[in-house]
Structure 1
Amino acid sequence: MTETDVTADQAADRALKARHRTMWGLGDYPDVAARLIAELGPVLVGAAGVRPGERVLDVAAGTGNVAVPAARAGADVTASDLTPELFVAGREAAAARGVTIRWEEGDAEALPYADDTFDVTLSCVGVMFAPHHQQAADELVRVTRPGGRIGLISWTPEGFVGELFAAMKPFVPPPPPGAMPPPRWGDEAHVRALLGDRVTDVVTEKRTVTVSAFDTPEAFRAYWRETYGPTIVAYRTVADDPARTAELDAALEGLAARYGGTTGVMSWEYLLLTARVV
């Protein structure tokens, strides 16, 4: 590979990260985190066995769904995310619960921390959105001390959110070479391969979070269209094509109808994984 090729790759990667940062700043992700999946943070903190005084890193922390309960457990917590605009809501949540957290901008594929810095490294439906899975996994291991723990919650490919991304895929530009679909982090075999023999005591479990915020498929589609960054991007991509917009509407409403049935109560499947660094 020539120096020109490397420079071009680096430029493309920077552009991709800039788009990701912008995407997660669209809409109202803090509402998604607080209203729909708030319970996942305490689940991950409990599964990882976070203890008082431990140094904890929340990777792709967003608004702190993991960082806040980890701090309430007495840990010394750093929350890192590519989109620091989300920290405004995170700081408010931390203040409301009387805890102190360090909020620091950082790329999950190039974390700004030294090797072996943390006792526990966690990510709840966060690191899965880093496009280069192996790089992100390498960073999780690198910053965790030997004997420390890694804990992850990721949406599964076959679950609701995995299907949501599959439904949106035809309406967005193809990802650049090397980028991998986020829900693959919810495939146990894939994550085990990413972490490899650098971890031991791997424990996995598929669980579900119940979401009952939407009475109708139309309500789900309207909320997701205005609130969730990836869906907003999909709608912007087809904004000049009414027929394609209608197709996207139908795809989201059809998915919500399949999962919500007549009650509107959905079960979103995720993979919970914990492991110990060798």
Structure 2
Amino acid sequence: MSESTTAPTGDHALKVKHRAMWALGDYPAVATEVIPELGPILVSACEVGPGDRVLDVGAGSGNAAIPAALTGATVVASDLTPELFDAGRRDADAAGTTLTWQEADAEALPFDDASFDVAFSCVGIMFAPHHQPSADELVRVTRPGGRIGLLSWTPAGFIGRMFAIMKPYAPPPPPGAQPPPLWGDESHVRSLLGERVTDVQARTANLRVERFATGEEFRDFFKAAYGPTIAVYRAIAGEPDRVAALDRELAELGRSYDLGGGAMDWEYLLLTARRAG
């Protein structure tokens, strides 16, 4: 959920496609019903507080931006898909806080250098197709000494495995696009940020998800609400055998993670750093 149509001309069609994909279904329901704990975890790790200028890249409907605003920070929630902002505004109003919502491209952010004390992304920037430009922009808009925070699904965790399952059913990615779960690989993120950051701290942890009683319930929810899953099913809609096969694989994935009582653990990487200089 990042990027925007202000990107370079060669990427325009790809950006439009990504924006449309994240507008499918009901991502705000995913944010509020499935992963609500992730935003506060990232906000706490970045030590966001009153007076901080904060940028959330790939903010979606604000599952990290709103908790940041509740600390007294001044927050900009940026995303490729402004269709998600209406739900975010409603959630912010209900929480009793305000923030700025701005359509923006993770790979070409419309903000000045060193504009923010904190720049972070909660399972958002990882879906920008080109990783290095996104990392470059994240560093650029953070002031020297400012904090950078990234919370991303790992390749080996539940969501990483879900994307691996869907890959054979999806159209080939465009040249140069990189897999989102690579942002959950510590060495990959360290290489993206390079020597421009210091005080890097990284750890993997699990989000306990208790939203789905069965693997089939997980599959059906994601088929209805999660843009990437919806897009894959649309790509194979005319092939009933492949639809049935993907149905089976996703339901089995859900069952394989069942800890009993409908609980699952979804692994993520939490990485924080400070901009050098």
Q: Same fold (TM over 0.5)?
A: yes
Q: State whether structure 2 residue 225 is matched by structure 1 residue 227.
A: yes
Spell out, residue by residue over 1:225-256, the C-alpha distance to the aligned partner (whole angstroms, 9 max, x if none). 11110000011011001101001101101111
Match of 1:255 among 253, 256, 259: 253
Q: What displacement does 1:222 show?
A: 1.0
**Which residue number corresponds to residue 150 of structure 2?**
152
**Which residue number corresponds to residue 3 of structure 1?**
none
Spell out, residue by residue over 1:181-217, the C-alpha distance to the aligned partner (whole angstroms, 9 max, x if none). 0000000000000000000000001111111111111
**Which residue number corresponds to residue 194 of structure 1?**
192
Match of 2:208 among 169, 191, 210: 210
Judging changes above 3 Å, is the alpha-carbon distance between structure 1 residues 261 and 244 closer, same or farther for their aligned structure 2 residues? farther
**Which residue number corresponds to residue 116 of structure 1?**
114
**Which residue number corresponds to residue 134 of structure 1?**
132
- The 5-angstrom pairing of residues 157-196 of structure 1 reads 157-196=155-194
Tell me how many residue pairs correspond in the alignment.
270
**Which residue number corresponds to residue 4 of structure 2?**
none
Q: What displacement does 1:263 show?
A: 3.2
4+ residue segments displaced more than 4 Å = 9-12
TM-score norm. by structure 2 comes to 0.96
Identity of aligned residues (%): 62
Q: What displacement does 1:11 show?
A: 4.2
Q: What displacement does 1:264 show?
A: 2.3
Equivalent position SS for 2:234: helix
| Long gaps (5+) in structure 1 | 1-8
**Which residue number corresponds to residue 58 of structure 2?**
60
- The 5-angstrom pairing of residues 29-40 of structure 1 reads 29-40=27-38
Match of 1:106 among 94, 104, 124: 104
Distance in 2 between residues matched to 1:144 and 1:193, nearest whole Å: 18
Match of 1:125 among 123, 126, 137: 123
TM-score norm. by structure 1 comes to 0.95
Amino acid at match of 1:67: A
Q: State whether structure 2 residue 261 is matched by structure 1 residue 276.
A: no
The CA RMSD over aligned residues, in Å, is 1.1
Q: What displacement does 1:39 show?
A: 0.7
Distance in 2 between residues matched to 1:11 and 1:76, nearest whole Å: 32
Distance in 2 between residues matched to 1:119 and 1:229, nearest whole Å: 31
